[in-house]
Structure 1
Amino acid sequence: MKVYDDKHIKNVVFVGAHGSGKTTLAETMLFEAGLINRRGTVENKNTVSDHHDIEHERGTSVLATPLHTEWRNYKINIIDTPGLDDFIGEILSSIRVADSIVTVINARYGVEIGTEIIWNYIARYNKPTIFVINQIDQSNANFDDSFKGIRSLVGSNAVKIQYPLVIDGAQCIVDVLKMKLYKFGPNGGKPEKLPIPDNQKELANQLHNELVEKAAENDMDLLEIFVEKGTLSEEEMRQGIKQGMLNHELFPVFCISALQDMGSGRLMGFIDNVAPAAADLKPEQSVEGKTVKPLPTEPTVLFVFKTEFLPNVGQITFFKVKSGELKANDKLVNAQNGETETLNQLFIMDGKERRPISKLNAGDIGASLKLKHTETNHTLHTEGHPVTIKPIQYPEARIQRAVTAVEKHDEEKMMEALKKIHSEDPTVVVSYSHELKQLILACQGELQLSVIKWSLENGYGVKADFSRPRIAYRETITRPAAASYRHKKQSGGAGQFAQVHMKIEPWYQDMAEPEGFNIRGKEEVELPWGGKLVFYNCIVGGVIDLRFLPSIKKGILEVMESGPLTESYIRDVRVMVYDGKMHTVDSNDIAFKIAGAHAFKAAFLNARPKLLEPIRNLNVKVPEDAVGQVMTDLQSRRAVILGIESADQYQILRCSVPEAELYGYSTELRSLTQGKATFHATFSAFEPVPGNIQEKIVKEKGQPVDA
């Protein structure tokens, strides 16, 4: 396979809402370049991109798939991504290594919420972006509305390179950069190139002049030429458009029918001739502050953006060569763990097909097999030239489930499978909660969860139950209470004896010291789960030896780790140990720990204990026509609306809501708004649980509460 230099490699990622036609466009581009002889379709489950069983079953892209094509002495690496934000991890990883982004819009629906969500991430990375309005040949396509939607998204810097036209029943595309008309036959393919019709010349010239002005604005030399001549040549326009894309101040808009192969060849030509390559982008700054230049003469640096496990193949590691050149059998050091990896085999991946290659240059994307110590977000570098590429920042999970293996003997197998699933998509996070005593799986939404279930069962042969996680409540008290406990145990020989008297009170910041006690010592314990235990030694006359006080405190802390109401953590209590008894022979640390624990538990139950529940700050971005339904649903979840802000055609609802009421919210919100709303939740504070709800929770002893 031919090796391309850094100036002839273009890396593009296809993004866009579900159903916009990204996979079909990728398939058509491979066909146009002659890399495949027949075009597959999503419906027939035979595209190069959607090759996984789960994608065939669901009829949609689930994983980001690297492909490549070769067009007019350029290599175009394409990454086809899912269109649903449940799989945002796949999309972000791909955006991170792309040089340009191709955002595909369905001409029938215009800019959808999925496009807007993805655009917010594109804007963070400031990557050059091309918009492609697809399916222009459909009867209900509306190019103008789609273009208006793009301008609402990115502003007036969106500029038409093309617009569609139908002449005598034939689909045509007017190109205002080349000032030509492309007329397609009923089966698409190579178009007939014609002059622009007289009735379109005024519009085409107007759009051409707009494009000339936009191109000139981005380069001082071009601006001088434009002022002097009043126009730019096609080559000068390409130069200005590229600079505008690099400045994130010009967004070219194309139109195509990917299914009918109309306009895809022209789009590929634009990617070749105009879209920036890795060498055109600003050098990247490493974690250490070093400049990583995309040059073949620099030390080799790879950034791993994707990991995949395939049956009968094992682990495939996908990377971008950030600098230098990579040859088969090269040894590189992992910046994260210091391990040396040998890349025995190098491949260009086209879906499931592996195409061996001997060398990859800076800017290229490739893959290797069975690296032992390397994961997604890792950097591999030449020994002696350490550098760490800044990692991809993934969004926090939106839903959580407790997960258990159906068959107990499958637990280890399930954990190994979940570890691989996390390696493939870091937005899937698995952790064991010692507080909840559950294995918790966190991910982006119900669709991603269904894919995880499918993968466990069909990919790893493990059946798992996913259930509602317990809520991390806290327990505290609302009034003072006193209690005592005598521990006495005799079993021949030395026995156990301890008696402890204590008073407990609610603790809050800056409260006065307790009255009526002779305070001999004070210790403030910052609890790992939040809040405090304030422990006072108020012993008078040596009735309890000082050496036993730490044991009493230890007994109290053990109870605080598993409160008597719901087995939740206890917080914000102060304890005054003021009396007791001991035995010269039978008293020991164990006896006083037991007595302290029992006395504290008895006092706690008499101090009108109160449950505290975690409260989340919730921001919900909702289309204006769905605000009423969403607010009604939120109020049914005990939410408190804190404010409403306007954002274009959306309203942002700011509210606080108990975490217990957010179970299933992602699915419900999607249903209420047809998938057009998004939300983000962050922890706020612990607040008292209403009495009737506390009674129900306590009765169930900390089991999940039905919403």
Structure 2
Amino acid sequence: MKVYQTNEIKNIALLGNDGSGKTTLTEALLYESGLIKRRGRITAKNTVSDYFPVEQEYGYSVFSTVYHVEWNNKKLNIIDCPGSDDFVGAALTALNVTDTAVLLLNGQYGAEVGTQNHFRYTEKLGKPVIFLVNQLDDEKCDYDAILEQLTSIYGNKVVPVQYPIKTGPDFNALIDVLLMKKYSWGPEGGEPTIEEIPEDQKEKAMEMHKVLVEAAAENDETLMEKFFESETLTEDEMREGIRKGLAARGMFPVFCVCAGKDMGVRRLMEFLGNVVPFVSEMPKVHNTRGMEVTPDADGPTSLYFFKTGVEPHIGEVQYFKVMSGKVHEGDDLNNADRGSKERMSQLFVCAGANRIKVEELVAGDIGCTVKLKDVKTGNTLNDKNSENRFNFIKYPNPKYTRAVKAVNEAETEKMMNALNRMREEDPTWVVEQSKELRQILVHGQGEFHLRTLKWRMENNEKIAIKFEEPRIPYRETITKAARADYRHKKQSGGAGQFGEVHLIVEPYYEGMPDPEVYRFNGQEFRINARSKEEVPLEWGGKLVFINSVVGGAIDARFMPAILKGVMQRMEQGPLTGSYARDVRVIVYDGKMHPVDSNEISFMLAGRNAFSMAFKEAGPKILEPIYDVEVFVPSDKMGDVMSDLQGRRGMIMGMTSENGYEKLVAKVPLKEMSNYCTSLSSITGGRASFIMSFASYELVPADVQEKLIKDFEAKQDKEE
């Protein structure tokens, strides 16, 4: 295969809602470029993308598929991404390593929730967008309505380059208003017949041509001047204007295809090859030191590994983009993240499960390799002249969490190894061994996402697992001061155990003054702090521990033991066993025994005195509250709002954004457990949401009472 230079390479992300036809379009693109001899079908389970067993089982894309097509001496690297928002990680990865997004629309439905989500990601990353209307042969397809919908959402930057003469089962021709030609196909599709525009279409075509010419001219001052003079542009000038408009997101061209019948696919590839910006024309990526890295084939070699696939009989397949320089078979490179050395023993370009061996890849190109020793997703390999590291892909917070257990506990370690391997393939899976909740948690993007993980675990890894509701990380604190004392005494022949601790607890806040005097039941307690220790708690908040013992009632050497006892009880709060936080403890008195006092005695006395005082100090349970943003069609706004209020959610505001309503709310984590499933049910899958931790707030009294009762019942059962 030819070695393509940086100015001959274009990198494209293929995005679209589930059911928009990305897999079918991929087959048509590969077939038209000659890379495959016949087009596969999803129903026959023989497509180039969606080739993993889990994808064939469920009938939807789970992983992105990297492939390339060669067309007119250009190399188009294309990454076909899953449509479901549950697999958003693949789409975000693809957008970060490509330069243009082709956003596919189902001709029956137009812009769907997946379209909106993907467009938002392109907006954040500043990537050019081409809208591609597919399935024009669907009897419910209405191209004009889709165009109107796109314009109402995204404005006048939406400019059609093509339109179908008619849609529905008889679709077989379209008008291209860039080339001002009619394209038509026989029943088998493939190579089109190109003719002059028929008379009955000329007026409409000319109007749309003028709009396209004006849009192209707007992005270049020289072209704009020429347009004002002659009111037209040459074909090459229009291409130049469209390319600049795409790169600046000043225009979003609209194209047409019927991928299932292979109609319009060649023309699409022509446009991608001729007009889409090259790697060198897009904004440069920055390394972790903030330095710009130019895709220069003559620069030092840097490879960024953006995806790991695990394939039967091969093991890990590592996909990379050449950020700078060139890479050859046999090159020795350094791993900037792990400090190890790697030899690139084989280089391939990709076409799904098929790989074509190459000897060299240059800056801007995308390839893959196998049998690397120690490379993980997100790592950078450099030659000796480069010190780059890259970390430019930011993944969204998880939205769905389940506790996971191996059905056979003996397989827990095996399960953990498999989970960590899977995370290499999809960084939006987050695996956490929670010491606090005493559960292994898997965080993902939705129920679909975790269902896929379970299928793979049970079918590929042969490990039976079960999901459970995750416990909620509550916090405990107090609202007033209280006092308690506790004597620990144990005699069992020989030296016994003795320790007595008197202490006061009160709520702590930053900057509060040191204590001087307390009154409990008419009795006054004066405090003379001898030492103060502030302990920042790893779960948030503080414990402040003050030694105010006078007259040697407790030897200073026992104070660390008392603090340890208090910390033990802070780690398992007295109300529900949750972490306690923001407490000040003053030890002001106690007793020792010359023989029987030891550290364990004072640790137990401190722990029990703290527990007693805590329960008298107006204890409260805090729960995690999350900021939730829901993107919802306006006709479903009322239903979604009611549902959130039923989840103890507080609506903070509403705004309109690109045809969708954005609802902002604060909702307790406890109520978000099955939210993604409910939201999908309420809106027919047309809404999406993101959530992030906001704060800890007091739970309502009835919820607190129930939590304490449940905990006590559980304790009794265990005893």
Q: TM-score scaled to structure 2, two decimals?
A: 0.94
Please give the alpha-carbon distance, in whole angstroms, between the structure 1 residues aligned to 2:612 and 2:566: 11
| Per-residue CA distance 1:214-251 (angstroms, 9 max, x = gap) | 22222233233333433211111111111111111122
Contact residue 26 and residue 49 of structure 2 kept, 8 A: yes
Whether the aligned pair in 2 keeps the contact of 1:300 and 1:381 (CA below 8 Å) is yes
Kept in 2: contact 1:398–1:681 (CA 8 A): yes
**Is 1:434 paired with 2:439?**
no
Following superposition, the deviation at residue 509 of structure 1 comes to 4.8
What are the superposed Cα offsets for residues 12-62 of structure 1, whole Å, 9 maximum, x if unpaired? Answer: 121011111111111011111222221111122111112111111111211
Task: Supply the AA of the counterpart residue of 2:313.
Answer: N
Between 1:313-322 and 1:134-143, the stretch displaced more is 134-143
Q: How does 1:274-353 map to 2 (within 5 A)?
A: 274-353=275-354
SS in structure 1 at match of 2:565: helix
Contact 2:308–2:377 at 8 Å: present in 1 too?
A: yes
- 1:546 and 2:556 are equivalent in the alignment: yes
Q: Given that residues 397 and 691 in structure 2 are in contact (C-alpha distance below 8 angstroms), is that contact kept between their aligned partners in structure 1? A: no
**Contact 1:295/1:324 (<8 A) preserved:** yes
CA displacement at 1:395 relative to structure 2: 0.5
- Determine the C-alpha separation between the residues in 1 that align with 2:488 and 2:284: 71
- Report the equivalent of 1:625: 635
Q: Deviations over 1:368-403 (max 9, x none)?
A: 002222122221111131112333111110111111
1:76-475 residue pairs with structure 2 within 5 A?
Answer: 76-166=76-166, 171-475=172-476
**Aligned residue type for 2:90:** E
* CA–CA separation in structure 2 for the residues paired with 1:216 and 1:223: 5
> Which of 377-386 and 395-404 deviates more?
377-386
CA-atom RMSD, angstroms? Answer: 2.0
Whole-angstrom distance in 2 between the partners of 1:198 and 1:387: 59
Residue in structure 1 matched with residue 2 of structure 2 by the alignment: 2
- Equivalent AA in structure 2 for residue 321 of structure 1: V
Query: How far off is 1:209 after superposition?
Result: 1.7
Partners of 2:98 and 2:305 in 1: how far apart?
A: 13
The structural deviation recorded for 1:75 is 1.9
- Give the equivalent residue in structure 2 for 1:694: 704
Q: Which moved more, 1:362-371 or 1:505-514?
A: 505-514
TM-score in terms of structure 1 length = 0.96
Asked whether 1:646 is paired with 2:641, we answer no
C-alpha displacement of 1:163: 0.6
Q: Give the alignment partner of residue 615 of structure 1, picking from 625, 633, 647.
A: 625
Alpha-carbon displacement from aligned partner over 1:645-698 (angstroms, at most 9, x marks no partner): 333543322222211111101110111011111222222222222232222222
Aligned match of 2:522: none
* Partner amino acid, structure 2, of 1:106: N
Whole-Å separation in 1 of the counterparts to 2:423 and 2:372: 16
Counterpart residue number, 2:717:
none
CA shift digits 1:101-160 (9 cap, x unpaired): 111111111111110001111112212221111111222111112122322343212211
User: Contact (CA 8 Å) 2:397, 2:692: kept in 1 or not?
Assistant: no
The SS at the match of 2:90 is helix
Q: Structure 2 residue aligned with 1:600, among 604, 610, 616? A: 610
My pick for the range that moved more, 502-511 or 682-691, is 502-511
Separation in 2 of the partners of 1:423 and 1:509?
41
Q: CA deviation at 1:610?
A: 2.2
Match for residue 529 of structure 2?
A: 520
Structure 1 match to 2:520: none
Residues 686, 281 of structure 1: alpha-carbon distance in 2 compared, 3 angstrom cutoff: closer
2:638 maps to 1:637: no
SS at match of 1:701: helix
Secondary structure at 2:296's aligned position in 1?
coil
Equivalence for 1:53: 53
2:20 counterpart SS class: coil
Distance change (3 Å), C-alpha of 1:172 and 1:703:
farther
* Greater Cα offset, 130-139 or 113-122: 130-139
Q: Is the 8 A contact 1:518 1:540 kept in 2?
A: no
Report SS of the residue matched to 1:199.
helix
1:72 alignment partner AA: N
Contact 1:317 1:368 in 2 (8 A): yes
Work out whether residues 406 and 463 of structure 1, in 8 Å CA contact, stay in contact via their aligned partners in 2.
Answer: yes
In the aligned structure 2, how far is the partner of 1:638 from the partner of 1:669? 16
- Percent of aligned pairs with the same amino acid: 47
What is the CA–CA distance in structure 1 between the aligned matches of 2:22 and 2:549, rounded to whole Å?
76
Cα distance between partner residues in 2 of 1:375 and 1:39: 33
Asked if 1:68 corresponds to 2:68, the answer is yes
Q: Specify the alignment match of 2:673 in structure 1.
A: 663
Deviation at 1:490, TM superposition (A): 3.3
Residue type of the alignment partner of 1:312:
H
- Tell me the CA shift for residue 602 of structure 1: 2.1
- Mapped partners of 1:655, 1:306: distance in 2: 34
Preserved contact between residue 378 and residue 391 of structure 1 (Cα < 8 Å): no
Deviates more, 1:145-154 or 1:462-471: 145-154
In 2 relative to 1, CA 366–169 (structure 1 residues): closer, same or farther, beyond 3 Å? closer
CA distance in 1, matches of 2:711, 2:207: 72
* Runs of 5+ consecutive residues of structure 1 not aligned to the other structure: none
Q: d(CA) in 2 for partners of 1:355 and 1:226?
A: 46
SS of the residue 1:289 aligns to: coil
- Tell me the secondary structure at the aligned position of residue 156 of structure 1: helix
- Tell me the secondary structure at the aligned position of residue 96 of structure 2: helix
Match of 1:39 in 2: 39
Which residue in 1 is equivalent to 2:587? 577
Q: Cα deviation per residue 1:428-475 (whole Å; 9 max; x = unaligned)?
A: 010111111111110100011111001111111111111111111112
* Matched letter for residue 108 of structure 1: Q
Partner residue of 2:14? 14
SS of corresponding position for 2:261: coil
Aligned residue type for 2:275: V
Number of residues paired by the alignment?
704
SS of the equivalent of 1:116 reads: helix
**CA–CA distance in 2 between the matches of 1:157 and 1:345?**
44
Structure 1 range deviating more: 439-448 or 571-580: 571-580
What amino acid sits opposite 1:114 in the alignment?
A: G
For 1:208 and 1:687, locate their aligned partners in 2 and report how far apart those are by CA, in whole Å: 59
Contact 1:567 1:702 in 2 (8 A): no
CA distance in 2 between partners of 1:587 and 1:654 (Å): 58
Residues 253/444 of structure 1: CA separation in 2 closer, same or farther (3 Å cut): same
CA distance in 2, matches of 1:99, 1:681: 28
Indicate how the Cα distance of structure 1 residues 377 and 702 shifts in structure 2: closer, same or farther if over 3 A, else same.
farther
Q: CA deviation at 1:514?
A: 4.7
- In 1, the alpha carbon distance for the partners of 2:12 and 2:405 equals 40
Indicate the residue corresponding to 2:504 in structure 1: 503
| Letter matched to residue 333 of structure 1 | N
In 1, the alpha carbon distance for the partners of 2:632 and 2:144 equals 25
* Alpha-carbon distance between aligned partners in 1 of 2:471 and 2:712, rounded to the nearest angstrom: 7
SS at match of 2:159: strand
Q: In 2, distance between residues paired with 1:504 and 1:97?
A: 55
1:487–1:497 Cα contact (<8 Å) kept: yes
| Range 375-384 or range 317-326, more displaced | 375-384
* Residues 301 and 385 in structure 2, CA contact (< 8 A), matched pair in contact too: no
Shift of 1:537: 2.6
